[in-house]
Amino acid sequence: MADKHSKIPLSNLHGDKAHHKVSLNSASSATDTQQTASLDPPHSAANIPDGQYSIQFTINRTPCNLNVTPNMILLDVLRHQLDLTGTKKGCDHGQCGACTIHVNGQPINSCLSLAIAHDGDEITTVEGLEQNGKLHPLQQAFLEHDAYQCGYCTSGQMMMALSVINDADIAEDDAAVKEAMSGNICRCGAYKNILSAIQSARKEMKQA
């Protein structure tokens, strides 16, 4: 079993790179509308380009300042400005759950949310689950229960699953978990394994 798992790429448990580190000090240059993210103090009004606005938020426990246009989608900012590519773009209509992240502890579809609306918020993506080089119990459980298949939906599944586990209003039985996870689609059909991983992680988190 150990040999099997040692050969599995951990890309979607961390992001697109197994040891992905996010640099918030470098400017993106992929498109004309991409903005600079940094750990520096907020930009002064004189330095903000026309049509852009300076916002601040915390991303995976790290303060971040950047300029955005009013129409920039949070998912695109995460992936293209901050290089946090673990969060996936699936349907782009809020119907598949692949882009699920946490904002102030609550799950949202980042493909439906404007970045400018998150000034002052605390944002967590799949890259923020791991701490001090150790996988979160959910990440470990997804590995052990083969709950990823192609892996494209995995980050969204885990972010939603963590919210389900932490929500005292959602019962712990399998039927309740299935209902709560119904907005996250797995095109590979790994729902049984995903459920097993969630329930296993729940037990592990209670013991921690």
Whether the pLDDT of residue 24 is over 70: the answer is no
CATH superfamily to which 134-207 belongs:
[2Fe-2S]-binding domain (1.10.150.120)
**Residue type present at position 115:** A
Residues of each domain in the chain carrying CATH 1.10.150.120: 134-207
108 close to 101: Cβ distance less than 8 angstroms = yes
Determine how many CB atoms are found less than 10 A away from the CB of residue 149.
15
Is 3.10.20.30 the CATH number for 17-128?
yes
CA distance 76 to 97: 15
Residue 23 clears pLDDT 50, i.e. is over it: no
pLDDT tens-place string over residues 103-113: 999 999 999 99
pLDDT band of 164, cuts 50, 70, 90: very high
Residue 47 pLDDT grade (very low, low, confident, very high; cuts 50, 70, 90):
confident
45-70 burial: b if 16+ Cβ within 10 Å, else e: eeeeeeebbbbebbbbeeebbbbbee
pTM, whole model, 2 decimals?
0.79
